[in-house]
Amino acid sequence: MSIQTFSGRHTLRTLKAMKKQERVAMLTAYDVVTASCLDEAGADILLVGDSLGNVVYGFDSTLPVTMEMMLAHTGAVVRGSKRALVVTDLPFMSYQVSAEEALKNAGRCLAEAGAQAVKLEGAYPSMIETIRRLTEAGIPVMGHIGLTPQSVNQMGGYYTHGKTESDRERLLREAKALEGAGCFSFVLECVEENLAAEITASVNCLTIGIGAGKVCDGEVLVINDVLGFSPGKSPKFAKVRADLKSIVRESAAAYIQETKS
Ligand code: KIV
């Protein structure tokens, strides 16, 4: 399927047209060179994830990430890409306090950094209202349910969601609420595969899975996990396709040896 848009980038329309036609390939990116490589490789969506807190800044959670960090990295990813839709994660406490704060911060991602959409976590009633306010204001929103890393303290760790009947019912309800509030897409992170399939079949917007099997409309991975360039071990569901840390170590060692000899 060949998809062309007026700006050359994917839009919500071209992406939504992919449902049931072609899977959406989404990767995280945080800098200009990686963004241009992933864009040239054909990524449909580049996510400037707040996972940069872990893989770029070395924090042990995404909670210390700030708006300033997200704006700076988003600008780099936008400048490095031509075709992919760029989505920016709203960081912890930039959208939970009030819908007004969410509007202001999401607006900055689009107006100052050049993103085309924002992503935020959760689907509880006041967050659904915030998403409605954002989409009504013309700000495209990608939701995120299941494992939501910004709530790690509340959840008590990182684990698979949708294992009990009440959890399944809640996630199905949340998926419907995200669609109703105007999300063009949402991430299902670490959700039981059969539930992810049921959710995908029950909504018109795009579901993007991570650690949720191969049943969603698309998939997202943290690029450092794919390239073998993460501070820790890559998660089990991420197929590691390169060993970039060894390449960097060996290239640097060769340079250092040559310089000193
Ligand atoms: O921050 C991030 O990279 C994410 C993806 C893992 C979905 O939210």
Q: What is the pLDDT of residues 154-210, one digit of tens each?
A: 999 899 999 999 999 999 999 999 999 999 999 999 999 999 999 999 999 999 999
The residue whose C-alpha atom lies closest to atom 3 belonging to ligand 1 is 49
Share of the chain above pLDDT 70, in %: 98
- Give the helix/strand (H/E) hosting 24: strand 24-28
Would you say 102 and 134 are in contact if contact means Cβ atoms under 8 Å apart? yes
3-state SS class at 179 = helix
3-state SS class at 87 = strand
Q: Are strands 24-28 and 45-48 parallel, antiparallel or unpaired?
A: parallel
Q: Give the domain range for residue 89.
A: 12-221
Given 179, 189, 192, 219, the catalytic residue? 189
Sign of the Cα pseudo-torsion (102, 207, 212, 45, in order)? negative
189 is catalytic: yes
Nearest-angstrom CA–CA distance, 31 and 80: 8
Cα–Cα distance list, 69 to 12, 93, 147, 223 (Å) = 25, 14, 23, 18
Chain center to CA of 183: 14
3-state SS class at 134 = helix
- Residue 2: which pLDDT band, with cuts at 50, 70 and 90? very low
Q: Which CATH number belongs to the domain containing residue 84 in this structure?
A: 3.20.20.60
List, for residues 97-148, the tens digit of each pLDDT value. 999 999 999 999 999 999 999 999 999 999 999 999 999 999 999 999 999 9
Would you say 78 and 115 are in contact if contact means Cβ atoms under 8 Å apart? yes
Does 7 reside within a domain? no
As for how many domains the chain has, the answer is 1
Does 257 reside within a domain? no
Would you say 90 and 51 are in contact if contact means Cβ atoms under 8 Å apart? no
Token pair, residue 74, equals 């988003």
Token pair, residue 57, equals 């800044």
The residue whose C-alpha atom lies closest to atom 4 belonging to ligand 1 is 49
Question: Distance, CA 51 to ligand 1 centroid (Å)?
Answer: 6
List, for residues 77-91, the tens digit of each pLDDT value. 999 999 999 999 999
Spatial neighbors of 119 by CB under 8 A, at least 6 apart, are 47, 49, 87, 88, 89, 90, 141, 142, 143, 144, 187
- Residue 6: which pLDDT band, with cuts at 50, 70 and 90? low
- Residue 7: which pLDDT band, with cuts at 50, 70 and 90? confident
Does 158 reside within a domain? yes
The residue whose C-alpha atom lies closest to atom 8 belonging to ligand 1 is 49
Does 66 reside within a domain? yes
List, for residues 48-74, the tens digit of each pLDDT value. 999 999 999 999 999 999 999 999 999
In whole numbers, what is the pLDDT of the chain averaged over residues? 96
Nearest-angstrom CA–CA distance, 62 and 53: 5
Token pair, residue 175, equals 């998926």
Question: Distance, CA 68 to ligand 1 centroid (Å)?
Answer: 18
Does 241 reside within a domain? no
Does 2 reside within a domain? no
DSSP secondary structure string for all residues of 34-57 = HHHHHHHHT-SEEEE-TTHHHHTT
Does 211 reside within a domain? yes
Rg of the chain (C-alpha set) = 18
Q: Which has the closest alpha carbon to 141: 117, 116, 110?
A: 117
Question: Distance, CA 134 to ligand 1 centroid (Å)?
Answer: 20
Model pTM score: 0.96
List, for residues 206-261, the tens digit of each pLDDT value. 999 999 999 999 999 999 999 999 999 899 999 999 999 999 999 999 999 999 99
